[in-house]
Structure 1
Amino acid sequence: MLVEEEKISKLISYALRHEPARFQLELDESGFVSLDELVSKLNQVEQVDLKTEAVVALLEKSDKKRWEIQGHLIRAIYGHSLSQKIIKQAAKPPEFLYHGTAHKFVDRILAQGLLPKDRQYVHLSQEIITAIDVGKRRDHEPVLLEVLAQFAYENGVVFYQEKDGIWLSEPIPVRYLRVMP
């Protein structure tokens, strides 16, 4: 992805995930807004010359699907820090999910469980390698946590399946976590 395309991708994610009000965008309960409205507001506020077709093309060629387009609507898939909770469709998870984290957070996680912190949901991965890659953002040798997802689900923890093996959940109590060797 070119530097300019990466900037635009991050701007779109920022507007949809964290600051829709700054761009005078009103997201529906599922986090969607009109694609044309998003482009218009980004052009206004950021004084860029973005076209709707360019946003569609950018999403199609992106290897990281951080947002999605359905018809004439667009939304961030996950990562929201909005006060308005984005409604997701609950789903039964696989037996295990994974979470990569920095060593400095492990003691707190093992005391409090996995919490969404400044996001709306806990982020999990279906693939070990993806969880490790996420953990490497904050630690070159992250700790891998295995989540007993099906057991947690059977005991009332709600999970949401996203795209590309990403799962979201409500907080995960400690009893459903194991540190992987």
Structure 2
Amino acid sequence: MNLVELSKEISYALRHTPWEYELELDEQGFVPIAQLLHALNESGAYEREITQADLEQIIATSEKKRHEIVGDKIRTLYGHTIPQIIKKEPGIPPAVLYHGTTHKALPQILLDGLKPMQRQYVHLSVDVETATRVGKRRDPEPIILKINTVAAQKVGILFFVGNDKVWLCKEMPKDCLSIFTPKTLPCNTAV
């Protein structure tokens, strides 16, 4: 396994785009190690399962101290470009949010709605582009779900502020979901 490449991916995830990995950073920038390992391993990008020992080896052999493990959590120490650390403060989301998922997961989602799975929260994106990037981590042609947040709030779903691209919730009922289909313009319509 190429630990340098793995280190770069971890830094990218923790410093710049935790929402693409559906990671939930706390106020100090830490994320549970189990959550990071799950995100890295679910992509199938590595020839074997990544372990905590791999993370510890990256930290021990790095020329620059980029990452830190404390207890069961890990963080990057500097270089963050995220606009803010993910907060779990209640808020009122936009009327529509999006979620990228796999073809494999879709039948279960349509039966049970969205569940947080290995995470504390369901991650919802503010735009189709972000949802697509998130979904592509697990499926090259992800399904994009459209979330009706107004209907969700009416049935008691609470939303929490993630960052400028992500909203969080504990679950999302199936009745508040639909499959997003991009609108296409007729050939004679000027753009």
TM-score of the alignment, normalized to the shorter chain, above 0.5 = yes
- Tell me the alpha carbon deviations over residues 129-156 of structure 1, each in whole angstroms, 9 at most, x when there is no partner: 1111111111111111101112211321
Q: Which has the higher helix share?
A: 1
2:59 to 46, 53, 73: 46
In 2, Cα distance between the equivalents of 1:148 and 1:101? 16
1:9 to 11, 16, 21: 11
* Residue identity in the other structure for 1:55: L
In 2, Cα distance between the equivalents of 1:4 and 1:103? 27
The equivalent of 2:164 in structure 1 is 164
In 1, Cα distance between the equivalents of 2:111 and 2:167? 22
The equivalent of 1:39 in structure 2 is none
Aligned partners of 1:92 and 1:150 also within 8 Å:
no
Between the two proteins, the alignment pairs up a number of residues equal to: 136
TM-score, with structure 2 as normaliser: 0.59
Structure 1 pair 19–136 and aligned structure 2 pair: CA distance change class (3 A): closer
The equivalent of 2:32 in structure 1 is 18
- Tell me the alpha carbon deviations over residues 85-135 of structure 1, each in whole angstroms, 9 at most, x when there is no partner: xx8111111111000111111000000100000000000001011111111
Structure 1, unaligned stretches of length 5 or more?
21-41, 69-76, 78-86
Tell which has more relative contact order, 1 or 2 (C-alpha 8 A, sep 6+).
2
SS at match of 2:171: coil
Structure 2, unaligned stretches of length 5 or more?
16-22, 24-28, 35-54, 68-75, 182-191
Shift of 1:51: 7.2
In 1, Cα distance between the equivalents of 2:161 and 2:169? 9
Aligned partners of 1:59 and 1:67 also within 8 Å:
no
* Residue identity in the other structure for 1:46: I
